[in-house]
Amino acid sequence: MRKSKILSWGAVLVLSLGLGACANKASDKRQRIETRGANNVAPVESTPQPSAPVAKSDGQGKWGEIIAPSNWQQAQFQQQVVSFLSNLSEPDGNPLSLGTVSGRSNDSTGIRFYGSVGLSGAFNVNGQNNLTVQSSGSELRIAVVDNYVGMKNAEGETIKEVPIYIASQVEGFVSVTGVIQGSQALITYEDSFGKIQLQGTFNSNWFTGSVSFANNSAINGGAGQQGQLGVFRVETCGFFKCQ
C-alpha cells in the first residue's frame, strides 16, 4: 500500500509538470515585437509607475496609465486590449501571443503611456486655450505590459512589453491632429496601422479622459477593430509643455 501511495504522488507530480508546461506554451511563442515604432524606443522590462519621470522628445515628461472604466469588468478590458492589438503580429507572422493585462490602476500589469503635442501657440494650463495640434513635436508611446513580461520565451529571451510608438520620425507615420479649446483636448495620433485618440479635460494637476482606437486592418486580413480602449490619466504638465 505504501508503495502504491508513492507511485500515486509521483503520477501527480508528473501531471503537474505537464500542466505547467502547457500553461507556459503561450508565453513561449512571444517574440520581440518589431512593428508600430517598436524599434524606435527602448523596451520596458516591468510596469512603469504612474507619474514616474520619462525622457520625451520635448524634454522631461511623466508616465500616465490607461485603465478600465469604472463600469467595466476585467474581462471586457482584456477583450478591448486584444482588439486594440489585433493589427500586430509576432515576427514570424503568427498572431500576437498576449497574456493578462490588468485594467486596475497602478497594478503589476497594465497599460502605461506618455505623449507630447506640438501646438499652434503657448499652452495655458488654466484653460484659456484656442489651439490646434500639429504633427511636429508630437509623439505617443504606449507600453502594454502583460503577465508574460519577465518570463523567458522558447528562444530563452526575456519577454518585454508590447510597445507602440507614433512620431513623425517613425516609419508609417501619418499625422497628429486635434484641438485644445479652453480646458478640453481632442488629439488623434495616426500611423499606417490606424488611429489612437485621446479626448479629455485638464486642470493644473491632471489630464484625464477616454482613449479610443480605429485599426486599419487585422493581421488575418479582416476588417480593423475599433472601439474604446479605456480611460486615461496623466499629469497635465507631464504631457503638455506648460509655461
Residue 109 belongs to domain spanning: 30-239
89, part of any domain: yes
At 38 the pLDDT is: 85
177, part of any domain: yes
Domains of the chain: total: 1
12, part of any domain: no
| pTM for the full predicted model | 0.86
Computed from CA positions of residues 47, 90, 233, 104, in that sequence, does the dihedral angle turn out positive or negative?
negative
Q: What is the per-residue pLDDT across 137-168, written as a single tens digit (0 to 9) for each? A: 999 999 999 999 999 888 888 899 999 999 99
8, part of any domain: no
- Of the pLDDT bands very low, low, confident and very high (cuts 50, 70, 90), residue 89 is confident
39 contacts 32 by C-beta, under 8 angstroms:
no
Q: What is the per-residue pLDDT across 225-241, written as a single tens digit (0 to 9) for each? A: 999 999 999 999 999 99
17, part of any domain: no
At 17 the pLDDT is: 36
194, part of any domain: yes
3-class SS string, 49-114: CCCCEEEECCEEEECEEEECCCCCCHHHHHHHHHHHCCCCECCCCCECCCCCCCCCCCCCCEEEEE
Residues facing residue 41 across a β-bridge: none
143, part of any domain: yes
Of 131, 113, 114, nearest in space to 122 by CA: 131
